[in-house]
């Protein structure tokens, strides 16, 4: 069994947990899962141990796992951790001086966001487009810091549902409020890039921490529809 196939099984299971196809509290039986996915037990066992180390599964008995149910507190705490670690990364980039390549890539993100918000309301597909741009924006800054400990901690922290910058919790019933919140978040993107270009470490650190409050607001709007969070439904 090669590593690519093992990673594919991990990814498939991760997606099915986050989509709710495997529901919170559900017990995972190896034999049934292997049959369902059409894979053998050895790589599946590896995948389950990886997802357990990521915090998406809890151990149950000697051989079993259950899909973890996250509390609202778990998610909010993980969003705070993201703010602190991304603040650390951004401060480092500002203080060491940003490269022209990073400045150009971040400016591209700003331009794309400006295009989305120029239309005064979200068009179909804009939510996905914004989430991709937002994820890219944050990843560029973390990568540029070259702090491997912070990057590894963020990678693990991002496995908590609705914490990754690539994940925006959207709620169809509150699209107007969502538009205003994301517009505000994108204005913060402009301020973050400005602080990076000026080498203002303390300011960009504070801006990154403040920026995560938008994730919390977005989450609060969407709580009724978030199946992975205990008590949300």
- Domain residue limits, the chain: 3-67, 72-225
Backbone angles phi, psi at 101, to 5 degrees: -65, -40
Look at residue 219 in the predicted model and tell me its pLDDT.
Answer: 77
The token pair at 160 is 């908590």
Could you report the per-residue pLDDT of 162-211, keeping only the tens digit for each? 888 987 766 666 778 888 889 999 999 999 999 999 999 999 999 999 99
Architecture of the structural domain at 3-67 = Orthogonal Bundle (1.10)
- Across 217-228, average pLDDT: 70
CA distance 39 to 74: 32
Look at residue 18 in the predicted model and tell me its pLDDT.
Answer: 72
The token pair at 158 is 């991002």
In the numeric block, the tokens 């997802």 are attached to: 51
| CB-CB contact of 127 with 167 (8 Å) | no
* Alpha helix (H) residue ranges in 28-125: 30-37, 41-53, 72-96, 100-117
Q: What percent of the chain has pLDDT over 90?
A: 49
Look at residue 24 in the predicted model and tell me its pLDDT.
Answer: 87
pTM of the model: 0.78
Mean pLDDT of the chain: 88
Could you report the per-residue pLDDT of 76-123, keeping only the tens digit for each? 999 999 999 999 999 999 999 999 999 999 999 999 999 999 988 888
Look at residue 171 in the predicted model and tell me its pLDDT.
Answer: 64
Could you report the per-residue pLDDT of 2-30, keeping only the tens digit for each? 666 788 888 888 878 877 788 888 999 88
Backbone angles phi, psi at 165, to 5 degrees: -65, -15
**Looking at the domain covering 72-225, what would its CATH class be?**
mainly alpha
Crossing angle for the helix pair 30-37 and 3-18, nearest 10 degrees?
A: 100
């Amino acid at each position: 069994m090669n590593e690519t196939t093992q990673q594919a099984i991990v990814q498939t299971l991760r997606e099915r947990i986050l989509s709710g196809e495997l529901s919170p509290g559900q017990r995972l039986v190896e034999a049934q899962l292997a049959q369902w996915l059409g894979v053998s037990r050895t790589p599946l066992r590896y995948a389950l141990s990886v997802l357990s180390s990521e915090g998406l599964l809890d151990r149950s008995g000697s051989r079993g796992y259950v899909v973890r149910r996250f509390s609202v507190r778990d998610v909010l705490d993980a969003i705070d951790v993201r703010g602190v670690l991304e603040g650390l990364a951004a401060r480092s980039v500002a203080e060491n001086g940003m490269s022209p390549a990073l400045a150009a890539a971040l400016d591209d993100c700003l331009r794309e966001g400006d295009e989305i918000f120029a239309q005064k309301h979200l068009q179909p597909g804009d939510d996905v487009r914004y989430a991709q741009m937002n994820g890219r924006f944050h990843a560029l800054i973390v990568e540029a810091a070259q702090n491997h400990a912070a990057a590894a901690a963020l990678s693990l922290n991002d496995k908590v549902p609705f914490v990754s910058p690539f994940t925006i919790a959207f709620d169809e019933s509150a699209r107007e409020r969502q538009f205003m919140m994301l517009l505000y978040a994108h204005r913060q993107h402009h301020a973050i890039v400005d602080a990076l270009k000026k080498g203002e470490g303390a300011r960009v650190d504070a801006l990154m921490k403040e920026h995560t409050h938008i994730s919390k607001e977005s989450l609060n709007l969407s709580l009724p529809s978030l199946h992975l969070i205990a008590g949300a439904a």
